[in-house]
Amino acid sequence: MILSEHIEDCEHAHIQCKILDFLAREGPLAKNPSSYIRFIYNRVNLEKAVIRAAAVSALAAYAHKVPSLRPSIVLLLRKCLNDSDDEVRERAFFYLSVLGETEGISEEISTLSSSGEQKEAELGEIRNILFDADEVIDIDALEQ
């Protein structure tokens, strides 16, 4: 439990990834493996991409080794499908596939990828920047 508390305050990504790997191997063998899930999932919400990806792998290890936790962890892995980082999304999708929990994912992904007003606002902003620029950019000047 001390290591899982240590990752809450650790600023070194390499150490956090090592601890997550250790928790993925040894945590499911503990008397109460569910007590570690909160610490691991907090890494998905609070850290940079490399740590989030390691946390997704650790969650999948718990889902594989502790059948009683599997339904809850599958829900957490499904939430990772809309992460901003490709690696995190791909790991979540991969582990859901390995666990045989891909039913309904294609609908979920299509819903996430077309998330309405926010996506339209972002696209509109990008269009404004690209196409409605007040200044004309001289490409020849950029090459010099």
Question: For 36-86, how does the pLDDT look when each residue is reduced to its tens digit (9 = 90+)?
Answer: 898 899 888 888 889 999 999 999 999 989 999 999 999 999 988 888 888
Domain residue ranges in the chain: 2-102, 105-133
Instruction: Indicate whether this model's pTM tops 0.85.
Output: no
Tell me, letter by letter, the H, E, C secondary structure of the chain.
CHHHHHHHHCCCHHHHHHHHHHHHHHHHHCCCHHHHHHHHHHHHHHCCHHHHHHHHHHHHHHHHHCHHHHHHHHHHHHHHHHCCCHHHHHHHHHHHHHCCCCCCHHHHHHHHHCCCHHHHHHHHHHHHHHHCCCCCCCHHHHHC
Q: What is the mean pLDDT of residues 129-135?
A: 53
Class of domain 2-102: mainly alpha
Question: For 100-124, how does the pLDDT look when each residue is reduced to its tens digit (9 = 90+)?
Answer: 876 665 555 544 555 556 656 665 6
